Structure 1
Amino acid sequence: MSAHTVIRFADWTITPETAPEAPGIIHELECTTCGAISGANEDFEEVRDWAFRHVGRNPSHTGYREIIHRFWRAVLME
């Protein structure tokens, strides 16, 4: 049995997902000192509050890495 491959050159674009059922942007903060992570949340204020509590308990933990999960959709240009 032989395989037949068709390659079609096309223009694509990628854009933020806008479907009503798509999740919003999800935020996390990771402490760069100990690696503790806030947990994922669509509400950045919740994530920020976690960082304030964390630095309050660990005054030397002043660096944080932001992790953002943003959903995208590839669209074939016509």
Structure 2
Amino acid sequence: MSVRSIVRHADWLMSPETAPEAPAIVFEMECTTCGESSEAAEDFETARTWAFVHVGRHPSHTGFREIIHRFWRAKLLE
């Protein structure tokens, strides 16, 4: 018995998830000097405040990486 596959070209659309039950966007900040990071939070100001407190305690830690968790949905275009 042989197995056959059918492959065809398809167009997909990627967009942010908008369903009411979709998870909220989550923000974090990570210090690029020591790797310490804020807690994940739905409010960006929480992550930014953590960065201000961190640099206040460690004045030489001036670089930060913003980490955003945003959920997306793929839709097959017909």
* Runs of 4+ more than 3 Å apart: none
Normalising to structure 1: TM-score of the pair?
0.90
Equivalent position SS for 1:56: helix
Tell me how far apart the structure 1 counterparts of residues 68 and 2 of structure 2 sit (CA, whole Å). 44
Alignment of 1:4 onto 2:4: yes
Tell me how far apart the structure 2 counterparts of residues 67 and 2 of structure 1 sit (CA, whole Å). 47
Among all aligned residue pairs of Structure 1 and Structure 2, give the percentage whose two residues are the same amino acid. Answer: 68
Please report how far the alpha carbon of residue 26 of structure 1 lies from its aligned counterpart in structure 2 after TM superposition: 1.1
Gaps in structure 2 of 5+ consecutive residues: none
Partner of 1:32: 32
Tell me how far apart the structure 2 counterparts of residues 10 and 68 of structure 1 sit (CA, whole Å). 29
Normalising to structure 2: TM-score of the pair?
0.90
